[in-house]
Amino acid sequence: MPEAAAIRKVIETLRRHFPGKGAVELDRPEDVLLATVLSARTRDEQVLKVYPKLRKRFPTLASLKKASVSEIADAIKEIGLYRAKAKSVKGIAEALLDAHGGNVPDTMEALVALPGVGRKTANCVLCYAFKKPAIAVDTHVHRIANRLGWVRTPDPQKTEFALMRLIPKGLWLHVNRVFVQFGRAVCVPGRPRCWKCPVARLCRYPRKTITPS
């Protein structure tokens, strides 16, 4: 099990190398929530192209609630699973207006009760919208945590709970933000680019690729 000092070193090093904002780190809680729902099994770049079109067509929660699922689906049809996501978006708008006074809730329990919202989405909202300590585990965070040797977990939810036990709470907000950027640029699926990794000496991955060739 890695020591807290080693974990802190990895996260702080990655923060220096990858200082950018999270892809769904948008201005309003409802935007963080809805954009994250759209991002499931879809590249963030594509979501960020589609999401402004959705909000231009349906600028308020009330307009989303009033719209039909097919109308919302038409606005987001460039992304995967758009019909199911359209149903979730409409359901979220209804729930926020009917049960939460038009506000996005700031607790895990209330967030996962919304249509189409799981723990990963809820944690993104807690982190990016409310700055509450949470670890949003997507495929990048799951892969990297296992490669580093911090955890040996079979799925993202088990990874989340394992990381919550390992990582000092003051660092939780940074995990998703830096690991996603790191996972796209360096610690990619398949053959990671270990030759350019700023934390390679702190990583226990046994099949490091030392050179580009």
Catalytic residues: 120, 138
Residues 6+ apart with CB under 8 A from 6: 202
Q: What is the gyration radius of the CA atoms in the chain, in angstroms?
A: 18
Q: Helix, strand, coil: what percent of the chain each, to 5?
A: 60, 0, 40
Whose tokens are 């040996």? That residue is 152
**Tokens 């460039």 label which residue?**
78
Instruction: Say which residue the tokens 């987001």 belong to.
Output: 76
Q: How many residues does the chain have?
A: 213
Cα distances (angstroms) measured from residue 138 to each of 26, 53, 141, 175:
18, 25, 5, 11
Q: Which residue has the tokens 């997507």?
A: 138
Judge whether 162 and 2 are in contact, CB under 8 Å. Answer: no
Pair 128, 32: CB distance under 8 Å:
yes
Q: What is the largest CA-CA distance in the chain?
A: 57
Q: How far apart are CA 51 and CA 84, in angstroms?
A: 16
